[in-house]
């Protein structure tokens, strides 16, 4: 059952704070301003200002002595959107126990307030300033629960949009100590920059740049050769260096099988662990049947020498419908267990208003895990027996789901040392996430974004939401690209460091963790292009794929230092 919405009663009579404003901005401007950012200290000053009645109605220490809800842990109980709405539209939904009670006496007197006490002899109503009204039951002619909050409407108009944002930031900051510690540890205010950054050396794409490349990796059977996937061209190419010159050979073109309009196409590629022997490889791409958008995971087979596709028909593995242009996932990886993992976005619209990422009966917002080496019933794949929902009712939870509560898992990988599954999960409004995912876990979207509440609409009691290792603030980046844990040189300062990037800002980060808690994060470089994906060679060396310039760069750690 969803928890009741939050309403701040009359205690936010923010009178006089900005009385000089002749014409306050429209309500939507306050809403827009308050959804991100804000200064907690300034917001505290607004809340405690002598010209307001906030402290007359609300306690902030857990004592619950005010006539309004105690705000000791407001940030744990209510999403920022709830807090904003509670002030902009205070009577829309009133928290249980804080609705006004209206009493009319036989003498024609009228009283209203929050019900403080009730007995067979008397009821006690309390109002702003702890003013009490004790009314004998014998004198009451009519008693009803009001539909209007004690907090008058339009109080936000007494504030500037900046003051309103700061007030919301302060209310959101009210957290229980353990939650506050986790948030502050995992959401760094500032990220130090290393003195010796990593280098980016162009290796492919200098002769003729690639068009919207999205995947790159070394060929498992041809030494020094690589494969690259170009999204909107629907192609995979074989890359080699011959006498120092780039040689690009066509591997496969499936443009006639995929949907490409604006920015659609191939999103992911994974080579079977036995590719060198069986030539099997898998792609994830967008489709269109009539007017119905869709996604597909398909299998093809390379010819015996591995230098190109065999030309055999595509085998469909998994297909599903999608409703919007947004968040289709796109990551494919074989795990150390030999199973294929598939990254599924929430499918949009923005903010996941249908709560699809929390619905185990759907694929959206999940990581799937399937066995492509066997068929099971009418499926062209098997369900691993240890999948967390494999033995349950498939109508209640899809057996393919490995973990859920993700928004847009854009690139994930396994730590070769211990099998940790690292996911770069693109955020909504305020935070980008990097998390380590395990079987059966719920990572919180759209209830949580980073370490913060995002929405209470689909929140359920006694459900554990797994926080990320780190959440990046908007000043650091707006679209995380997941990367890899470095394990190439035990003597390197980067040994055990997870390297990822932000697509828009081009910042590159190094992250270490212990028990899925952030130990250290550093900005280790600035990429020469927007990094859409990372790749590795067979030795574990790291490559960054530049989306705009169409160049693949080797990430050089030799002269860099992680400290």
pLDDT tens-place string over residues 299-334: 999 999 999 999 999 999 999 999 888 899 999 999
CA–chain centroid gap for 518, Å, is 17
* Token output for 123: 């009821």
Q: Which residues contact 534 (CB under 8 A, 6 or more apart)?
A: 411, 481, 482, 483, 484, 499, 500, 501, 542, 543, 544, 545, 555
For the CA atoms of 302, 305, 306, 309, the dihedral, rounded to the nearest 10 degrees, stands at -30
- What is residue 511's predicted lDDT score, i.e. its pLDDT? 98
What confidence category does residue 4 fall into, taking pLDDT thresholds of 50, 70 and 90?
Answer: very low
CATH number for the region 100-145 comes to 2.30.30.100
- What is residue 18's predicted lDDT score, i.e. its pLDDT? 37
Q: Which residues pair with 376 in a beta bridge?
A: 379
**398 or 6, higher pLDDT:** 398
* Token output for 323: 């409703």
Query: 33-44: b or e for each residue (b if 16 or more CB lie within 10 Å)?
Result: bbeeebbeebbb
Strands 498-502 and 480-485: antiparallel
pLDDT digit string, tens, across residues 102-145: 899 999 999 988 888 888 899 898 887 678 889 999 999 998 88
Query: 476-502: b or e for each residue (b if 16 or more CB lie within 10 Å)?
Result: bbbbbbbbbbbbeeeebbbbbbbbbbb
CA distance 387 to 400: 7
Global pTM reads 0.84
Percent of the chain with pLDDT over 90: 75
CA distance 109 to 495: 77
pLDDT at 373 over 50: yes
DSSP assignment of 58-109, as one string?
--SSS---SSSPP-TTHHHHS-HHHHHHHHHSTTSS--TT-SEEEEEETTS-
Q: Check whether the bond before 349 is cis (ω within 30° of 0).
A: yes
Q: What is the strand order of the sheet 517-526 is part of?
A: 480-485, 498-502, 507-514, 517-526
- What is residue 127's predicted lDDT score, i.e. its pLDDT? 81
Considering the chain, what is the average pLDDT of its residues? Answer: 91
Q: Which residues pair with 268 in a beta bridge?
A: 284
Q: What is the mean pLDDT of residues 35-61?
A: 85
Residue 44: strand, helix, or coil = helix
CA distance 500 to 409: 13
- Please determine, looking at this structure, whether the domain spanning 10-98+149-175 carries the CATH number 3.30.43: no
Q: What is the mean pLDDT of residues 375-403?
A: 95
Residue 299: strand, helix, or coil = strand
- What is residue 323's predicted lDDT score, i.e. its pLDDT? 85
pLDDT at 447 over 80: yes
pLDDT at 14 over 50: no
Q: First and final CA of the chain: distance in angstroms?
A: 47
CA distance 207 to 7: 62
Q: Which residues contact 234 (CB under 8 A, 6 or more apart)?
A: 253, 254, 255, 256, 257, 258, 260, 265, 266, 285
pLDDT at 5 over 50: no
CA distance 466 to 450: 10
Nearest by Cα to 494 from 514, 512, 468, 482: 512
Nearest by Cα to 98 from 31, 35, 154, 146: 146
Q: Could you identify the residue written with the tokens 């939507």?
A: 28
- What is residue 50's predicted lDDT score, i.e. its pLDDT? 63
- What is residue 126's predicted lDDT score, i.e. its pLDDT? 85
Q: Check whether the bond before 293 is cis (ω within 30° of 0).
A: no
What confidence category does residue 95 fall into, taking pLDDT thresholds of 50, 70 and 90?
Answer: low
- Could you say which DSSP state residue 430 is in? S
**108 or 56, higher pLDDT:** 108
Q: Measuring CA to CA, how many Å separate 360 from each of 316, 390, 448?
A: 23, 12, 17
* Token output for 109: 């007197």
pLDDT at 20 over 70: no
pLDDT at 552 over 50: yes
CA torsion through residues 523, 526, 530, 533, sign:
negative
pLDDT digit string, tens, across residues 505-532: 999 999 999 999 999 999 999 999 999 9
CA distance 59 to 87: 17
Listed by start position, the domains of the chain span: 10-98+149-175, 100-145, 205-459+529-554
Q: Which residues contact 307 (CB under 8 A, 6 or more apart)?
A: 222, 238, 249, 251
* Token output for 438: 């395990």
CATH number for the region 205-459+529-554 comes to 2.120.10.30
Q: What is the strand order of the sheet 421-425 is part of?
A: 409-414, 421-425, 431-437, 470-473
**98 or 70, higher pLDDT:** 70
CA distance 265 to 252: 14
Residue 34: strand, helix, or coil = helix
Nearest by Cα to 414 from 333, 338, 496, 471: 333
CA distance 499 to 138: 73
Q: What is the mean pLDDT of residues 158-166?
A: 93
pLDDT digit string, tens, across residues 239-254: 999 999 999 999 999 9
């Amino acid at each position: 059952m969803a928890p009741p919405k939050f309403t701040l009663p009359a205690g936010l009579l923010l009178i006089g704070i900005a009385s000089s404003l002749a014409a306050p901005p429209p309500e939507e401007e306050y809403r827009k301003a308050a959804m991100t950012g804000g200064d907690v200290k300034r917001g505290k000053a607004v809340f405690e200002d002598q010209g307001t009645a906030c402290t007359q109605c609300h306690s902030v220490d857990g004592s619950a002595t005010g006539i309004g809800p105690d705000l000791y842990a407001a940030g744990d109980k209510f999403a920022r959107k709830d807090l904003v709405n509670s002030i902009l539209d205070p009577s829309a939904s009133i928290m249980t126990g804080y609705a006004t009670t209206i009493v009319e006496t036989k003498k024609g007197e009228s009283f209203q307030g929050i019900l403080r006490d009730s007995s067979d002899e008397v009821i006690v109503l309390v109002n702003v300033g702890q003013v009490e009204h004790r009314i004998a039951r014998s004198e009451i002619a009519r008693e009803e629960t009001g539909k209007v909050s004690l907090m008058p409407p339009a109080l936000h108009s007494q504030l500037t949009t900046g003051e309103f944002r700061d007030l919301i930031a302060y209310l959101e900051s009210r957290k229980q100590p353990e939650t506050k510690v986790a948030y502050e540890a995992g959401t760094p205010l500032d990220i130090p920059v290393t003195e010796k950054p990593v280098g980016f050396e162009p290796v492919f794409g200098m002769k003729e740049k690639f068009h919207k490349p999205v995947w790159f990796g070394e060929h498992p059977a041809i030494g020094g050769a690589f494969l690259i996937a170009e999204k909107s061209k629907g192609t995979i190419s074989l890359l080699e260096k011959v006498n120092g010159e780039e040689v690009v050979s066509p591997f496969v073109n499936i443009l006639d099988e995929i949907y490409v309009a604006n920015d659609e196409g191939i999103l992911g590629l994974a080579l079977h662990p036995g590719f060198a022997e069986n030539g099997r490889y898998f792609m994830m791409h967008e489709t269109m049947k009539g007017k119905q958008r869709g996604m597909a995971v398909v299998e093809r087979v390379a010819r015996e020498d591995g230098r190109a596709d065999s030309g055999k028909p595509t085998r469909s593995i998994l297909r599903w419908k999608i409703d919007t242009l947004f968040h289709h996932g796109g990551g494919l990886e074989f795990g150390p267990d030999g199973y294929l993992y598939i990254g599924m976005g929430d499918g949009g619209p923005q903010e996941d208003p249908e709560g699809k990422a929390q619905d185990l009966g759907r694929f959206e917002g999940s990581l799937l895990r399937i066995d492509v080496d066997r068929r099971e019933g009418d499926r062209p794949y098997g369900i691993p027996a240890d999948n967390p929902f494999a033995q349950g009712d498939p109508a209640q939870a899809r057996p393919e789901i490995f973990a859920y509560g993700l928004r847009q898992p854009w690139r994930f990988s396994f730590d070769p040392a211990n099998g940790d599954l690292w996911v770069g999960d693109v955020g909504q409004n305020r935070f980008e996430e990097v998390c380590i995912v395990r079987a059966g876990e719920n990572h919180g979207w759209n209830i949580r974004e980073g370490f913060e509440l995002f929405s209470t609409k689909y929140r359920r009691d006694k459900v554990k939401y797994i926080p990320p290792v780190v959440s990046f603030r908007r000043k650091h980046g707006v679209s995380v690209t997941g990367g890899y844990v470095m394990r190439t040189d035990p003597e390197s300062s980067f040994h055990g460091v997870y390297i990822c990037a932000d697509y828009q800002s081009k910042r590159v980060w190094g992250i270490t963790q212990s028990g899925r808690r952030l130990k250290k994060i550093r900005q280790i470089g600035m990429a020469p292009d927007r990094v859409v994906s990372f790749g590795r060679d067979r030795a574990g060396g790291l490559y960054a794929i530049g989306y705009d310039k169409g160049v693949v760069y080797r990430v050089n750690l030799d002269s860099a230092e992680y400290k």
